[in-house]
Amino acid sequence: MEIEIISFGKISEFIPRQKIDITGISDTDTLKVHLEKAFPQISTMKYKLALNEKLVQNNTLISGNEVVAIMPPFSGG
């Protein structure tokens, strides 16, 4: 099972757009653990995920083929 990862801001400097295999991962909480292993820099940062252009607020099921955005704190304005 694969998902596409996109990233923004500071995180875009070390996580380029890519597809990753998430076989065995079925929700966003488990995905976070996986991402923090794969990209250790984000484990010490504040970040949020969006799943298919929806901000992830609570643990959410993943079916595969989603686009997951990894976003550092917002700094617009």
Minimum CB distance to other proteins smaller for 26 or for 65: 65
Cβ of residue 24: shortest distance to other proteins, in angstroms?
A: 28
Residue count of the chain, please give it. Answer: 77
Is 61 a binding residue for other proteins by CB under 8 A? The answer is no
Cβ of residue 9: shortest distance to other proteins, in angstroms?
A: 4
Is 16 a binding residue for other proteins by CB under 8 A? The answer is no
Contacts of 38 (CB under 8 A, 6+ apart): 20
Nearest residue to 47 (alpha-carbon basis) of 77, 12, 3, 1: 12
Is 64 a binding residue for other proteins by CB under 8 A? The answer is no
